[in-house]
Structure 1
Amino acid sequence: MGDDEVKLAPLTESPLLQREGVKRRFEKDEDAPSMGEWRKARTSAYGQTALRKSDKEERIEEEIVTGVVVKHYN
């Protein structure tokens, strides 16, 4: 299996992920996007969405790609 086929789903329920606010978006792991699908979505969104300054963190801009906040560190 290549990297593009790896499903992007949390491996386990983790206290760290819960504390950081990471939530499971798909009930079944097989419904989660693959790395290849996510990479293509980010690539196609590049330059198409407006970046906004983070309300919480200095020198960070954010955009939303397929419903997920993506952070850009400056």
Structure 2
Amino acid sequence: MVEKDEIVIAGAAGRQVLCGHCGADQDRWRRVLLNSGTSELLGFAAFSPEAIALTCTRCGKMVEFADGALDLRSAPQR
């Protein structure tokens, strides 16, 4: 697996993930919790499901994918 915050090229469902705003193909990634206000209030946020957030390296748009839905590989050095 690639390192957190490493610049990656992502794929999902057999297609390359491109930014919906600028069309770029490289992102930084990190794991995020999908917690609700109720789980925060009751102290259960640590048990919330995880997702993968991709942040476009060109424009900064963020998108989330279910954990395990992405194929991440290191982007070539430019």
TM-score, L = length of structure 1: 0.32
The structure in which a higher percent of residues are helix is 1
The structure in which a higher percent of residues are strand is 2
Structure with greater contact order relative to length (CA < 8 Å, sep ≥ 6): 2
TM-score, L = length of structure 2: 0.31
